[in-house]
Amino acid sequence: MGKAEDTKARIERAALVLFVARSVAETTTREIALAASIAEGTIYRHFPSKEQLALDLFLRHHRALAEALDEAQRPHPSLREKIEAIVRCYCDWADRDWTLFAYHLLNQHAFLARVPDDAPNPVAVVHNVIDRAMTAGEIPRRDVGLAAAAAIGVVLQPATYKVYGRFEGPLAAHTGFFADAAWAVLAVTEK
């Protein structure tokens, strides 16, 4: 890694940690520089603005997660297996870099509107998988967005509570339960 690239990576990591501990708005460029052991002006050699740095961080992770989830589900034929693959991939992703994961989770409301329409999207991946399973008759047909949201919530809410400090240990420890529960949600038949 060249020196410039190393500096850029240090800025990104320092910013990430501070953005999660406080928030983007409450983190100053001076703090980022101090944490990255560089001068404040150096940030602007690598990023046009603090907001763009925050957005870059979000979008890169957003796209990479979507691609990883899509690759994970693709080889499997049945919805049940796709769910397991997606859940496992998601938990591994979160455990591998928890700070980055937490940043992505806590700042969706700020950046989701700025994701390009054609960019890979984690929710769209799940949405498509569920839609095809409904068409194939694997699960009952209902509002896809609603079903996807509820199934995603089964995994995302525990993850959120781990960010809040309510849980310890790796998220992947509960992969089995998450997959079973997500499947149960999708298989619900209105009584």
State the SS3 of 79-97.
HHHHHHHHHHHHHHHHHHC
Rounded to 5°, the CA angle 52-28-96 comes to: 65
Cβ at position 45, least distance to its own copies in Å: 26
- Please report the DSSP string for 86-154 in residue order: HHHHHHHHHHHTHHHHHHHHHTHHHHGGGS-TTS--HHHHHHHHHHHHHHTTSS----HHHHHHHHHHH
Minimum CB–partner distance for residue 100 and its own copies (Å):
16
- Under the criterion CB under 8 A, does residue 81 sit at the interface with its own copies? no
Q: Interaction with its own copies in 111-140: which residues (CB under 8 A)?
A: 112-113
39 near DNA (CB under 7 A): yes
What is the 8-class DSSP label of residue 183? H
* Partner from DNA, its own copies, none contacting 124, C-beta within 5 to 8 A by type: none
Torsion of CA 104, 125, 86, 113, to 10 degrees: 10
Between 41 and 165, name the residue whose CB sits nearer to DNA.
41
Residue 28 vs 157, nearer CB to DNA: 28
d(CA 131, CA 3): 47
Q: Is 110 in the site for DNA (CB under 7 A)?
A: no
Q: How far, in Å, CA of 53 to CA of 29, rounded?
A: 11
The verdict on 30 binding DNA (CB under 7 A) reads yes
Question: Is the CB of residue 65 less than 8 Å from the CB of residue 122?
Answer: yes
Residue 42, contacted partner among DNA, its own copies, none, CB below 5-8 A by kind: DNA
Nearest approach in angstroms of CB 40 to DNA is 4
Distance from C-alpha of 81 to C-alpha of 88, rounded to nearest angstrom: 11
**CB nearer to its own copies: pick between 72 and 151:** 151
Q: Which is nearer to DNA, 46 or 127 (CB)?
A: 46
Binding of residue 49 to DNA (CB under 7 A): yes
Contact mark string toward DNA, 116..145, x via CB under 7 A: ------------------------------
Residues lying near DNA in the complex (CB under 7 A) are found at: 2-4, 6-8, 27-30, 37-42, 44-46, 49-51
